[in-house]
């Protein structure tokens, strides 16, 4: 459904995390790619911007800034 491009810096950051965070990240990427409407527990629009926050609730709770180019 969606084409997802992940920056090398993001992949390096995720690779440096523990296995639980890495697994959760790739599960969320899969959900984003396949599900038309993603629940706000996983992605939240940042107010007054074109960006979204990908929320990884594992470990310390990691946030990754993402954007859409539709």
Q: What is the pLDDT of residues 7-29, one digit of tens each?
A: 999 999 999 999 999 999 999 99
- Residue 23 structural domain: 8-67
pLDDT digits (tens, 9 = 90+) for 15-69: 999 999 999 999 999 999 999 898 888 999 999 999 999 999 887 889 999 988 8
Radius of gyration of the chain (CA): 12
How do beta strands 62-67 and 51-56 pair?
Answer: antiparallel
Q: Has residue 27 been placed in a domain?
A: yes
Q: Has residue 1 been placed in a domain?
A: no
Q: What are the CA-CA distances from residue 2 to residues 14, 19, 38, 64 (Å)?
A: 21, 25, 12, 18
Q: Has residue 17 been placed in a domain?
A: yes
Q: Has residue 2 been placed in a domain?
A: no
pLDDT of residue 15: 96
Q: Has residue 38 been placed in a domain?
A: yes
HSE-up of 9 (CA within 13 Å, CB side)?
3
Q: Has residue 20 been placed in a domain?
A: yes
Task: Count up the domains in the chain and report the number.
Answer: 1
């Amino acid at each position: 459904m969606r084409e997802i491009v992940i920056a090398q810096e993001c992949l390096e950051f995720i690779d440096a995390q523990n296995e639980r965070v890495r697994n959760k990240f790739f599960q969320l990427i899969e959900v984003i790619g396949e599900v038309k409407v993603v629940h706000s527990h996983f992605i939240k629009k940042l107010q007054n911007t074109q960006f979204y926050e990908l929320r990884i609730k594992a470990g310390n709770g990691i946030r990754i800034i993402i954007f859409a180019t539709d």
